Chains A and B, each alone.
Chain A
Amino acid sequence: MTHKRTSIRTALVAALTGLATTGSRVYASRLRPLTAADVPAILVSTLGEEMVVTHLGGGLPVQREMRVALEVIVKAVANYESTADTILGEIEAALFTSHVSLGGNVHSVSLASIEDPEMDDSTDKPVVRLPVILRVIYSS
């Protein structure tokens, strides 16, 4: 039986695939380094979650608040921060302009925070990583 965390992660990849700047370069559970052909990209990772107990009876649904990290990765000679910001705008338009249920798997998806971007110039072009943290509410 597929856990809802898997279903949510899969649905998020589908919802973010096809954005103007990143196209099909949306990857879940990625451990292998990205190549030049793989960027700009969005990496999707389901993080920890907390349970909200709304009842005392056993066997009833539990509401869960899960954090999901979307890491925007850009490698370019110039304008890499601006490109990351553009991708962020495309993510926001895809997920927050109207109610999103991710195929009926969640009650809501909202933007929890945008973490500090990291930049690194130790290869042939600068790379920027912009972490976007979502708050996903679902029940199990």
Chain B
Amino acid sequence: MAFDADDLAAFNDPDMPGYAVATIGGTSIAGRFRKSYGEALMVSGIKPTFVASVAELSACAVGAAVKIGGVDYTIDEIITPDAQMPHMTRLLLDSAA
């Protein structure tokens, strides 16, 4: 069954765990926000990620500013759609401060 607008609406339902609204370039974009635990060279931390539709994140660029929940981030990496998630783009974020 193809992924359609109804599926996307369910994915971005405000009642879904991780639902968040990101402000990117002055535009509000609904998606899913997650802070995964990570470690780098003996230092623990989190790696924030934001997932939304391909269409809404198509203009994003690495280094762009993102604000989620009043916290500032920058885009570290843009994961384009793959077979597992064909209609969504994942942004890997860095803390801005």
Contact = CB atoms under 8 A, between A and B. Distances in A.
Contact of A34 (B43, B76, B94): B43
A129 B41 CA distance: 7
Majority secondary structure, B binding face: strand
B42 A125 contact: no
Contacts of B48: 124
A38 B93 CA distance: 22
Interface in B33-78: 38-48, 76
Majority secondary structure, A binding face: mixed
B38 A123 contact: yes
B97 interface: yes
A46 to B, nearest CB: 17
Contact of A35 (B41, B44, B94, B95): B44
B9 interface: no
Contacts of A34: 42-44
A33 B44 contact: yes
A39 interface: yes
Nearest to B77: A121
The size bracket of the interface on A is 20 to 34
Interface centre among A36, A119, A122 (most CB of B within 10 A): A122
Nearest to A40: B43
Contacts of A33: 39, 42-44
Contact of A121 (B39, B40, B46, B97): B40
A67 interface: no
A129 B42 contact: yes
A120 interface: yes
Contacts of B47: 122-124
B93 A124 contact: yes
15 contacts: A35-B44, A36-B43, A43-B42, A73-B41, A118-B41, A120-B41, A121-B40, A122-B47, A123-B38, A123-B43, A123-B44, A124-B45, A124-B48, A125-B95, A128-B41
Closest 5 CB pairs of A and B: A123-B45, A120-B40, A33-B44, A127-B40, A124-B95
